[in-house]
Amino acid sequence: MSTKEKKFIALGSRLLGVPEVLTLGVRPNFKDYTPLEREMILGAGIILFPTLNYAQFFTTMGKKIFPSLETYLYADEKIKQTTLFYMLDVPHPETRIYYHLHHQDIVKEFTFPFIGKLARRSSRGRGVFKIHNPQELSGYLSLTKIAYVQEYLPHEKDLRVMLINYRPVLSYWRIRSPENFRTNLSQGGSISFDNIPKEGIELALAVAEKCKFNDVGMDLIKSKGKWHVIEANMKYGRKGLKLKGLDLKEIMRQKLLSGELF
């Protein structure tokens, strides 16, 4: 298929290699694109994976993009996600943000053990700490000026629900190893596709729709009979898909060709 015959335009590389998609790359200046490329971008019915920078401009212009601007705005932003969840009445563990002058209030409002996270760069379980005592709290606070503190919900597993354009494409349990409180696969966790609860999937879908996250892996925990949304991951892993024999690019391709993303 020639360049002129390609049907869809993408900037980011997520769909590189999909025959119907022309991936132009992300260039720092819009004028870095050739006149023909600029014409193709501005005339496209949908612009795929525009990145946060261009997503803002295209949304202002009223152009259709995938994923949504909100998907970009809240990626790797735990503080923003927590605020949004509370404002939308999403069930979420008790969580508070403490700036440097208020670090002393943490132990007044939380009992050990609790969770401390780095507000950014804590994907794959890195930057997530289970804090048992003042010494461990001091060690955590030495790493960040902004403390993101969350109640600890005892659990053996959590539920990952992957959604593309508000349609669940895969759900699975992430089961923690006995040596680790985290369920992340990179932290020794394992995957199970058995007995996936319908109510967990329904909650993930409802929250994704409320938040306008249309390319996301939602993580949920059921603790003491109640479901909690932990966070939304826009850079979700592929291991679960591979174990199921699924290819993300092919899933996206079929959704494009069927018109589902429009």
Which CATH number belongs to the domain containing residue 196 in this structure?
Answer: 3.30.470.20
Identify whether 57 is part of a domain: yes
Q: Are residues 58 and 123 in the same domain?
A: no
Q: Are residues 170 and 252 in the same domain?
A: yes
Q: Are residues 161 and 211 in the same domain?
A: yes
In the numeric block, which tokens belong to residue 156? 């053996």
Identify whether 76 is part of a domain: no
Domain boundary among 66, 84, 118: 66
Q: Are residues 146 and 182 in the same domain?
A: no
Q: Are residues 249 and 204 in the same domain?
A: yes
Domain boundary among 66, 85, 120: 66
pLDDT, tens digit (0-9, with 9 covering 90-100), for 206-254: 999 999 999 999 999 999 899 999 999 999 988 999 999 999 999 999 9
Q: Are strands 147-151 and 190-192 parallel, antiparallel or unpaired?
A: unpaired
Given a cut of 80, is residue 123 above it in pLDDT? Answer: no
Identify whether 102 is part of a domain: yes
Q: Please tell me the distance from the alpha carbon of residue 7 to that of residue 48, in angstroms, as a whole number.
A: 12
pLDDT, tens digit (0-9, with 9 covering 90-100), for 64-101: 999 999 999 999 999 999 999 999 999 999 999 999 99
Between the CA of residue 164 and those of 169, 175, 225, what are the distances in Å? 7, 23, 28
Q: Are residues 162 and 207 in the same domain?
A: yes
pLDDT at 119: 84
Q: What is the CATH number of the domain that holds 147?
A: 3.30.1490.20
Identify whether 216 is part of a domain: yes
pLDDT, tens digit (0-9, with 9 covering 90-100), for 107-121: 999 999 999 999 876
pLDDT at 251: 97
Identify whether 126 is part of a domain: yes
Identify whether 128 is part of a domain: yes
pLDDT band at 122, cuts 50/70/90? Answer: low
Closest to 128 (Cα-Cα) out of 186, 171, 200, 73:
186
Given a cut of 80, is residue 200 above it in pLDDT? Answer: yes
Query: Which domain covers residue 21, as residue numbers?
Result: 3-66
Identify whether 26 is part of a domain: yes
Q: Write the secondary structure of the chain as one string of H (helix), E (strand) and C (coil).
A: CCHHHCCEEECCHHHCCCCCEEECCCCCCHHHCCHHHHHHHHHCCCEECCHHHHHHHHHHCCCCEECCHHHHHCCCCHHHHHHHHHHCCCCCCCEEEECHHHHHHHHHHCCCCEEEECCCCCHHHCCEEEECCHHHHHHHHCCCCCEEEEECCCCCEEEEEEEECCEEEEEEEEECCCCCCCCCHHHCCEEECCCCCHHHHHHHHHHHHHHCCCEEEEEEEEECCEEEEEEEECCCCCHHHHHCCCCHHHHHHHHHHHCCCC
Q: Are residues 123 and 31 in the same domain?
A: no
Q: Are residues 199 and 143 in the same domain?
A: no
pTM: 0.92
Q: Please tell me the distance from the alpha carbon of residue 75 to that of residue 84, in angstroms, as a whole number.
A: 13
What is the mean predicted confidence (pLDDT) over 52-74? 97
pLDDT, tens digit (0-9, with 9 covering 90-100), for 153-187: 998 899 999 999 999 999 999 998 776 777 666 66
What is the mean predicted confidence (pLDDT) over 45-55? 97
| Average pLDDT score over the chain | 93
